[in-house]
Amino acid sequence: MQAEKKISTINRLKTVRGHLDAVIAMVEEERYCPEIMKQVSALQGSLEKVNRVLLEGHLETCVLHAVSEGRTAEIVDELMETLRYTPAMTGPTEEPL
C-alpha cells in the first residue's frame, strides 16, 4: 500500500473509532433511537470511504502489478470478489424485509 493511502486509511479508521465510541455512549445513555440510527448511518458512510481508499490503492498497486505479470484473469476474478464487499461501488445488496 502506498504511504499516502496508508496514512489516509489509518486516519479515517481512527476517526471512525472515535465516532463509534460516541455512538456506544449514546446507546448507553438511551438516547433517542432515530438519533442513534443517524449516527450509525454516518459510520457506515465513513467505512465505505475507507473501503474506497483501500480499493483505489489496490488498483494502483497490486492490480497493475498483476496485469504487468500477465495474471489478468486471476486479478479480474479477485476484483469481482472484492467488489462484493464494496456496496458503494456495486449498489445495494440488502434483501427486502
pLDDT in tens, the chain (97 residues): 889 999 999 999 999 999 999 999 999 999 999 999 999 999 999 999 998 898 899 889 989 999 999 999 999 999 888 888 776 665 554 544 4
- Would residue 15 count as lying in a domain? yes
Q: What's the grid cell of residue 61?
A: 498497486
For the chain, give percent helix, strand, coil, nearest 5.
Answer: 80, 0, 20
- Would residue 97 count as lying in a domain? no
* pLDDT given for residue 84 in this prediction: 82
Q: What's the grid cell of residue 73?
A: 484473469
* pLDDT given for residue 96 in this prediction: 45
- Total domains in the chain come to 1
Q: What's the grid cell of residue 4?
A: 499516502
CA distance 22 to 32: 14
Q: What's the grid cell of residue 42?
A: 454516518
Q: Could you tell me the CATH number of the domain that includes residue 14?
A: 1.20.58.1000
**What is the residue range of 31's domain?**
3-89
Specify whether the CB–CB gap between 49 and 8 falls below 8 A: no
